[in-house]
Amino acid sequence: MVNGQWSVVNRLWSTRQRGQVAVLAVLLVMLFFLLACVLVDGYELVEARNWGYQVVQQAALAGVSQGRDWSSLATPPCSGGPAPIQLDAEPAMAASENILRQEMALRDISGYSFSIHVLPGYSGGTVAGFPPIPVRLGAGRGSWSASEPSVGVYLSFPVSTFLMSFVGRPTVWVEVFASASVHQPEGACVP
* Total residues found in the chain within this entry: 191
Count how many Cα atoms sit within 13 Å of the Cα of residue 38 in the half-sphere of its side chain.
Answer: 6
Task: Give the H or E element holding residue 177.
Answer: strand 171-181
Q: What is the DSSP string of 57-71?
A: HHHHHHHHHHTEETH
* CA-based nearest residue to 178, from 151, 156, 160, 159: 151
List per-residue pLDDT tens for the chain, 191 residues long: 455 555 655 665 555 555 677 788 888 888 888 888 778 888 888 999 999 999 999 999 999 999 998 888 777 777 777 778 889 999 999 999 999 999 999 999 999 999 999 999 888 888 888 887 766 545 555 678 888 899 999 999 999 888 777 777 788 899 999 999 998 878 777 66
Domain residue extents for the chain:
43-181
169-175: long-range contacts (C-beta < 8 A, 24 or more apart)? 172/45, 174/45, 174/48, 174/49, 174/52, 175/131, 175/133, 175/135
CB 155 within 8 A of CB 55: yes
Amino acid at 169: R
